[in-house]
Amino acid sequence: MHDPRIIVALDFSSAEDALRLAEKLEPRFCRLKVGKELFTAAGPNLVEKLMLKGFDIFLDLKFHDIPNTVANACKVAANLGVWMINVHALGGRKMLLAAREAITQGSSKLIAVTLLTSMDENDLADIGLQGNPEQIVERLARLTKDCALDGVVCSALEAANLRHQIGEDFCLVTPGIRLLNDRADDQKRITTPRQAILNGSNYLVIGRPITQANEPLLMCQQLNSEISELIL
């Protein structure tokens, strides 16, 4: 696929495990996500090895700090040559604008996390946020768009509303993807790949259904076939 919609989450604690899975996948069918656990264990060296294999990398470090610190971190991340970087929208307008200014538009995509897919209304109340997840996500997505970022991370349950409210020219990256009959595990706001695409998601972050499959590449190909039928 020219623009693979699947981002495989490399939720591993070692470079060896991540590279072993990467050997079973192909860049034309997916991109790869390197998150906090794997990046802490293996660092930029692993990111470079994965890119040398031809994969686009989503560096999922969710930067959330004072504006200057986030700006510098984004600049360093972009210099690695990764495809996508993210920050936390809850860092606020000044932080989002600093991150945007730090990365040349057209290089690494810059998106913002709205709410973690493990959070529900009770979790929001615990941290003093009033409203349901959909309302909070829309508010943060509008802020992100206003700061000229490329898109947001959101659950597929909010994607349909965001696509309607914010428009087509805004990237929606969706974690919390599960196949039918899969366990939810630690995710609360989840959906299937088919429903996520129908709801307007651009990219699907998929971990366990692919990484724990007996044949990860075959699973990736099957999911791509299902997605292709929906976006033609």
Which residues have a catalytic role annotated?
A: 62
Residue ranges with strand state E in the chain: 6-9, 31-35, 57-63, 84-88, 109-113, 151-153, 171-174, 203-206
* 208 C-beta neighbours (distance < 10 Å), count: 16
Task: Measure the CA dihedral 91/93/62/108, to 10°.
Answer: -170
Length of the chain: 232
Contacts for 223 with CB less than 8 Å, ≥ 6 apart: 6, 193, 204, 206, 209, 210
Cα(89)–Cα(136) distance, integer angstroms = 11
